[in-house]
Amino acid sequence: MVDVRVVDATPQAFGFSSVYLVGGSKGYAMIDAGPSNGSSKVLDYVRSAGLRVCCIILTHIHVDHGGAAGVFSRELGAPVYVHPRGARHVVDPSVLWEQSRQALGPVADYYGRPVPVEESMVRVAGDGDTIDLGGATLKIIYTPGHASHHMSVFLVEEGIMFTGDSGGVVIEGEVKAPTTPYPFKPKPYLESIDRMLRENVRKAALAHYGLADEGAQYLRWHAEEVRNWLDEIVKLVSLGVSDPLKIAEELTYRNRNAKTAANSRISHLYYNSVMGMARAVLEGEWP
């Protein structure tokens, strides 16, 4: 029997960072590790529930998704599967950390410095690779766009797509936004959603946050919403608005979800995302 659990890895809060545990007869896979500052919550849960974690799969290495991988690999004795472009950065996350601090400012410190993974515990995941957990089969799907090293994970038996950051953000059912920081690549991002939709998706497991029913319908809606935001940004640029921060402010008057996100507790994510989109448009990545 397949077991799927979501554990909240949000530091000092709740409802933003998801860590998923997928279990079969051979043990559990942890999909994303969350930020290092949320690791104690997840580790306490795993130990109290008596779960045997046999591997950790990172959708990507950004500090809010892979920061705690080194903690769990060490404490649970589990190898870490990662895209080949991200492997060296989980072994030595110093460059990743500096880039994170430059991009996120104090938010990076909120997530915490990523903990290195022992090189012997790193496994490179290939596109289309499968991991057999015993009645639960996980398929790796490369899904670039949010990041060049991004991948999603499909639980074949249950039709659950663990999207990472390739499926956007839904917080408390009300705040809906893409997560598209620089260097966002819109065309690969939308192609990645198409790749996910080629599977028999019944539910979407979002990194931010939790399971979305009607997963295929949600992913199609999300792709259309991303296109809408990009097209509105193109219009603003054509009117002479070129400052990404000004574009983010103007978009709140043109899109209801943008306004909701900008005025929510994830406003920092909203501004980073729109600025990533704006730079993609200004650099000729869209249309």
Q: Quick: pLDDT tens for 109-160.
A: 999 999 999 999 999 999 999 999 999 999 999 999 999 999 999 999 999 9
Provide the percentage of residues in the chain whose pLDDT is more than 90.
Answer: 99
Residue 262, pLDDT > 90, answer yes
Q: How many domains does the chain have?
A: 1
Answer yes or no: is 7 within a domain.
yes
CA distance 207 to 61: 13
CA atoms within a 13 Å half-sphere pointing along the CA-CB vector of 204: 25
Answer yes or no: is 176 within a domain.
no
Cα 37 to Cα 47, 97, 110, 119, 180: the distances in Å are: 18, 14, 7, 22, 23
Model pTM score: 0.98
Domain carrying residue 123: 3-158
Structure tokens at 202: 């019944």
* pLDDT tens for each residue of 83-105: 999 999 999 999 999 999 999 99
Answer yes or no: is 209 within a domain.
no
Answer yes or no: is 282 within a domain.
no
Grade residue 74 by pLDDT with cuts at 50, 70 and 90. very high
Grade residue 1 by pLDDT with cuts at 50, 70 and 90. confident
Residue with tokens 């839904």: 170
Compute the average pLDDT of residues 202-214.
Answer: 96
Q: In this structure, what are the phi and psi dihedrals at residue 53, rounded to the nearest 5 degrees?
A: -90, 120
Query: What is residue 228's predicted lDDT score, i.e. its pLDDT?
Result: 98
Q: In this structure, what are the phi and psi dihedrals at residue 179, rounded to the nearest 5 degrees?
A: -125, 95
Residue with tokens 């659950």: 160
CATH number at 101 reads: 3.60.15.10
Answer yes or no: is 103 within a domain.
yes
